A and B are shown apart, each in its own frame.
Chain A
Amino acid sequence: MSTPVLDDIDRRIVVATQDGLELVREPYRAVARRVGIDEAEVRRRLAAMQARGVIRRIGAVPNHYALGYLANGMTVWDVPDDRVRELGRRLGGLGFVSHCYHRPRHLPDWPFNLFAMVHGRDRATVQGHVAGMAALMEDVERGHRVLYSTRILKKTGLRLAA
């Protein structure tokens, strides 16, 4: 796996923006002042980090509960390893799936190797989506579960030390 290294200035930009951008007319100038470089360089470096995938995107993250998406189900599937990529791409292409990953099994306790997060306004909606996903799996799926979140115990996100 490639791990592009951040140079010292990139790292200072990450630290200055990991809690969010300042809500001022020139937010990148505010970052530039904190980092001690000019405004255009902040924008150039942010664009470069985005091109390298270090930044997924710049924008807003809604609290999906506040928007009325109250049911949040982690669906987990046991599918043959040689089909997991094809099925993962299929599930990931569905409009109501926010994340989709291949993860390791832990036999015999945990047989599931494909994870897809499904969001809906209520559990009935999520159940409907899950039925559709099961149909997409044809006959290769050997079992699945839906784990609804009942409480957020902690949510701080990744933090680099300043």
Chain B
Amino acid sequence: MTAESTRSAPSDVDLDGPDRALVNLLQGGFPLSERPFAEVGWEVGLGEDEVIARLARLLDAGVLSRFGPMYNAEKLGGGLTLAAMRVPADDFERVARQVNAFPEVAHNYARDDDFNMWFVLATEEPGRVARAIAEIEEATGIEVFDMPKIEEFFVGLRFEA
């Protein structure tokens, strides 16, 4: 389990020109070819092994959080929802531990609102979402507001490095 604070998250990591070119290019896609790093290197003017070494460094430094296929949880046939809770400040750390202990909780964010805990539930079996919500309410004693998406208008954003 990661319990990373946004304050301690790496910021302003020194990126040189080729690093920025790689981060920007690879947000758009990665070739499905036998030697994809060589193709990427051709685009940005680096050798194949140099691309691999730089990517390893960017992942280690936390500039990139993931590299590979991004799977769409719903299309995998599972259940997915966004849920929110209003947690009293004094109980926040206890409730965070209880909620995070559920393996179905994929992400959990603290937000500055009276709805102050927001988490994504992703389950292999679609029916499991409702049961997990009931179990979280039982474990924490706090109401969970289920906010599954009704329609998606846009997902994706490229951050300029």
Report A-chain residues with C-beta under 8 Å of the C-beta of B12. 68
Q: Which of B65-101 contact A (CB under 8 A)?
A: 65-78, 82, 84, 96, 99-100
Q: Does A79 contact B (CB under 8 A)?
A: no
Q: Are A153 and B69 in contact (CB under 8 A)?
A: no
In this complex, what residue of B is CB-closest to A21?
B68
Q: Please, how many residues of chain B have a CB less than 8 angstroms from a CB on the other chain?
A: 87
Number of A-B contacts (CB under 8 A): 275
Report A-chain residues with C-beta under 8 Å of the C-beta of B100. 153-154
Known: A56-B70, A145-B113, A158-B71. A152 touches B5 (CB 8 A): yes
Q: Are B6 and A62 in contact (CB under 8 A)?
A: no
How many whole Å from A149's CB to the nearest CB in chain B?
Answer: 5
Q: Please, how many residues of chain A have a CB less than 8 angstroms from a CB on the other chain?
A: 82
How many whole Å from B126's CB to the nearest CB in chain A?
Answer: 8
In this complex, what residue of A is CB-closest to B149?
A101
Interface of A is mostly: mixed
- Highest count of chain B CB atoms <10 Å: which of A17, A66, A153: A153
Task: Give the residue of A17, A66, A109, A159 whose beta carbon is less than 8 angstroms from that of B69.
Answer: A17
Task: Give the residue of A29, A53, A65 whose beta carbon is less than 8 angstroms from that of B6.
Answer: A65
Report B-chain residues with C-beta under 8 Å of the C-beta of A145. 113
Q: Which of B119-161 contact A (CB under 8 A)?
A: 119, 122, 124, 145-157, 159-161
In this complex, what residue of A is CB-closest to B107?
A155
Bound-state Cα–Cα, A161 to B112, Å: 34
Q: Are A158 and B106 in contact (CB under 8 A)?
A: yes
User: Told that A60-B67, A63-B63, A154-B100 touch, could you supply 12 new A-B pairs with CB distance under 8 A?
Assistant: A6-B77, A46-B32, A56-B70, A59-B67, A60-B66, A61-B66, A68-B11, A100-B152, A100-B153, A100-B154, A152-B110, A156-B107
Would you mind naming 26 contact pairs between A and B with Cβ atoms under 8 Å apart? A14-B71, A17-B69, A20-B59, A25-B38, A57-B69, A57-B70, A58-B29, A58-B30, A60-B66, A63-B65, A66-B10, A66-B63, A70-B6, A89-B154, A96-B157, A101-B152, A106-B145, A110-B115, A145-B113, A149-B6, A149-B111, A150-B6, A151-B5, A153-B96, A154-B105, A158-B106
